[in-house]
Amino acid sequence: MRRISLRVLLNMQTYPRFMRLLGNIVLAVVVTASATANAKSPSARPRAAISESPAPLKHAVPDEDTVAVETQVSLAAWALRAAREQAAAAIGIATRVEVKLFDVNQQQAASVWIGLDGSIDDATAKEITRLFMCRRSGRERSIDRGTLAMLADVAAHYPDKTIEYVSAYRGNAEESRTSPHRAGRAIDFRIHGVNPTEIRDYLWRTYREVGIGWYPQESFIHMDHRPGEKDIAWTFIKGDNIYNPGWAAVARSKDGKTAPVRREPGV
Interacting residues with Zn ion (CB under 5 A): 186, 188, 222
Q: Of 186 and 248, which CB lies nearer to Zn ion in the complex structure?
A: 186
Give min distance, CB of 74 to Zn ion, in A.
58
Q: Of 101 and 186, which CB lies nearer to Zn ion in the complex structure?
A: 186
Beta strands at 240-243 and 232-237: parallel, antiparallel or unpaired: antiparallel
Beta-carbon contacts of residue 236 (< 8 Å; ≥ 6 apart): 213, 214, 215, 216, 217, 218, 222, 242
DSSP string covering 114-179: EETTS---HHHHHHHHHHT--TTT----PPPHHHHHHHHHHHHHSTT-EEEEEE----STTS-TT-
Q: Of 222 and 226, which CB lies nearer to Zn ion in the complex structure?
A: 222
State whether the Cα torsion 42-44-47-49 is positive or negative.
negative
Quote the CA–CA distance of 245 and 233 in Å, as a whole number: 7
Give min distance, CB of 186 to Zn ion, in A.
5
Q: Of 118 and 211, which CB lies nearer to Zn ion in the complex structure?
A: 211
Give min distance, CB of 267 to Zn ion, in A.
23
| Closest-approach residue to Zn ion (CB) | 222
Give min distance, CB of 184 to Zn ion, in A.
12
Q: Of 26 and 186, which CB lies nearer to Zn ion in the complex structure?
A: 186
Give min distance, CB of 116 to Zn ion, in A.
23
